[in-house]
Amino acid sequence: MAGPMKMRATLAGGNTEVRVLMSHPMTTAQMKEGLHHIRNVVVKQNGKTVVEAEISQAVSRNPVFSFRLKGGAKGDKIEVSWLDNKGESNKIETAVA
Amino acid sequence: MRLGFLLAAVLACAPLFAQDTKKEIQKYQQMIADGSPVELFELEGEALWRKPQGPSKVSLEKCDLGQGPGVLKGAYARLPRYFKDADRVMDLETRLLHCMTTLQGRSREEATKRVFGNENQPSEMEHLSAYIAAQSRGTKLAPATSHPKEKEAYELGRALFFHRAGGWDMSCASCHGEEGKRIRMQELPVLHKREFARPIMATWPAYRVSNSQFKTMQWRINDCYRQMRYPEPTFASDATIALTSFLTVTAAGEPYRGPGTKR
Amino acid sequence: MIKNRRTLLAVLGMLLLKPFAALAAWNEQAFGAKTAADALSGLGAPSPAPSKDIVIDAPQIAENGAVVPIEVMSNIPGTTSIAVVIEKNPFPLAGKFDFKDGALPFVKLNVKMGETSDVRVLAMAGGKPFVATREIKVTIGGCGG
């Protein structure tokens, strides 16, 4: 069961600042839980993919990412989704404040 | 003898802390705080606050944390305080326990079965503490101090802070009583002095990045006692509440800006 | 009849769940590399040119290696992706971020560092690889508690 996510998207200096928090153990193979980490993160702005990320178990537990999208306006739909190495996934959608 | 050796070791590891080292560490602390998973704990805490539980199948939403039933804004910043219905000074976790037993009908045993969690499963108290503390962001720390029992708690806390006991004959002041000390890279704040207590009390409870766990004040005091080789204090005991009273009163006036994020 | 429909639904269900997993690429070679050099090769960027236009904002000292905040902005025109490689980590490649039309080549993330190490930030711009390096010291704070 994927943990909660939280996201804040605001306008700053003509761009859209996105900060997304993800609940995920991000454990390495050495840890007792075994290798369990987010592999892919996709950021969409009004349905259009703008960032595609591949990440490893070297990203900290409960990852927090900040992105900057070009332009944007209040009310824009920002969606961030993730997929991990076990096939679990989660996503969150927020309107730009 | 042991204490002398320990102090020597602590002091030996604390040569002059270079100013630029301090600045870089401050930068680290700033960067981890900005973009901390703390908000995820606040989210879970809110859900738990609203969740009907216990034999009474009631949520905690009518719990009175000192500002009226269900009033959360600024409540944490005004704790600890005396509560007439319990005839006792209580800190946040003690008051939550009170509401769990009185409002929700839960037994103390069940409600305190797992007060300190871990990175895979934080405890209910930890989530709730994060949520409730967050509702005091921006409010100046103002624990109540007029009631005789509140004065008593403060005095007891102050006495405990300086009282040496336990396996190693230590007190809080052994580490937190003198300026310029540190353990490894951790500067030890002099907690009985206003200027050092303020930034500390303004940022607890906190998320600890080193073990990805959310830590509360009850945990902090418990763990300090563990490190000093004292017997484990009882959760929500008079002693733990007294220490939090002493520390919060010492820090009074500081705008609360937690829950914090720490190494 | 029901048995067949169930099987059909199960198969369809699997196909619907699979797409994200099947389509989501993950560079096994680069992520599995045990040296920074191999990671860079895996990313198709074996000899990146040093660039001062990759701005790395990170503390010089991390109080704990479990969470090391790193903020990167590439001012190289035409930057399409940024990768973060931690030299001394057992698997140096921590992440690769592809920026499509609509995103600035900027990212802030928290990484785990096992020890003091150089952090190399790779930027691909106009098909060419560039790199900037920063050393981050990792310490252990506190009483070990």
User: What is the per-residue pLDDT across B68-116, written as a single tens digit (0 to 9) for each?
Assistant: 999 999 999 999 999 999 999 999 999 999 999 999 999 999 999 999 9
pLDDT number for residue B20: 85
Q: Which residue has the higher pLDDT, C138 or B2?
A: C138
Q: Considering only alpha carbons, which residue of chain C is nearest residue B183?
A: C142
| A78-92, B180-194, B215-229, C104-118: the lowest-pLDDT one | B180-194
User: The domain containing residue C36 runs over which residues?
Assistant: 27-138
pLDDT number for residue B5: 58
> Could you tell me if residue B16 is inside a domain?
no
User: What one-letter code names the amino acid at C69?
Assistant: P
Distances C91 to C88, C96, C98 between C-alpha atoms, Å: 8, 13, 20
Section B14-34 average pLDDT = 82
CATH of the domain at C59: 2.60.40.2470
In angstroms, rounded to a whole number, what is the distance separating the alpha carbons of residues A26 and A60? 6
Which of B247, B251, B257, B262 shows the shortest CA–CA distance to B135?
B257
User: Closest partner residue to C110 among A59, A81, A89, by Cβ?
Assistant: A59
In angstroms, rounded to a whole number, what is the distance separating the alpha carbons of residues B60 and B40? 19
> Could you tell me if residue C14 is inside a domain?
no
Chains in contact with chain C (at least 3 beta-carbon pairs closer than 8 A):
A, B
Is B175 an active-site residue? no
Section B180-191 average pLDDT = 89
Distance, in angstroms, between C67 CA and closest chain B CA? 6
Section B24-33 average pLDDT = 92
CB distance from C98 to chain B under 8 Å? no
At B32-80, the pLDDT tens digits run 998 789 999 999 999 999 999 999 999 999 999 999 999 999 999 999 9
User: Closest partner residue to A68 among C20, C21, C106, by Cβ?
Assistant: C106
Residue B187: pLDDT band by 50, 70, 90 thresholds? confident
Q: Taking the CB of residue B6, how many other CB atoms lie within 10 A of it?
A: 16
Q: Considering only alpha carbons, which residue of chain B is nearest residue A67?
A: B35
Section B196-218 average pLDDT = 95
Are the beta carbons of B119 and A60 separated by less than 8 Å? Answer: no
pLDDT number for residue C22: 47
The answer to whether residues B131 and B45 touch, using CB atoms and an 8 Å cutoff, is: yes
Residue B241 has pLDDT above 50, yes or no: yes
Cβ contacts of B214 within 8 Å, gap of 6 or more? B38, B41, B117, B122, B126, B127, B129, B130, B205, B206, B207, B208, B259
CATH of the domain at B139: 1.10.760.10
Give the domain ranges of chain A.
5-95
Section B220-226 average pLDDT = 96
User: The domain containing residue B66 runs over which residues?
Assistant: 32-262
The total domain count for chain B is 1
pLDDT number for residue C7: 63
Q: Where are the beta strands (DSSP E) in chain B?
A: 81-83, 88-90, 182-183, 186-187, 206-208, 213-215, 260-262
> Could you tell me if residue B159 is inside a domain?
yes
Distances C29 to A57, A83, B116, C89, C118 between C-alpha atoms, Å: 15, 19, 41, 16, 21
Q: With a cut of 50, list the residues of chain A below it in pLDDT.
A: none
User: Closest partner residue to B39 among A3, A6, A25, by Cβ?
Assistant: A6
The answer to whether residues B196 and B190 touch, using CB atoms and an 8 Å cutoff, is: yes
Give the tokens for residue B7: 């102090």
In angstroms, rounded to a whole number, what is the distance separating the alpha carbons of residues B144 and B95? 14
CB distance from B40 to chain A under 8 Å? yes
B103-162 residues touching C, CB cutoff 8 A: none
> Could you tell me if residue C8 is inside a domain?
no
Tell me yes or no: is domain A5-95 CATH 2.60.40.10: yes
> Could you tell me if residue C5 is inside a domain?
no
Are the beta carbons of B25 and C63 separated by less than 8 Å? Answer: yes
Give the tokens for residue A48: 């259009």
pLDDT number for residue C24: 81
Residue B12: pLDDT band by 50, 70, 90 thresholds? very low
Residue B155 has pLDDT above 90, yes or no: yes
At C88-142, the pLDDT tens digits run 999 999 999 999 999 999 999 999 999 999 999 999 999 999 999 999 999 876 6
Instruction: Look at residue C136 and give its three-state secondary structure.
Output: strand
| Residue in this structure with the two tokens 């600024």, named with its chain if needed | B74
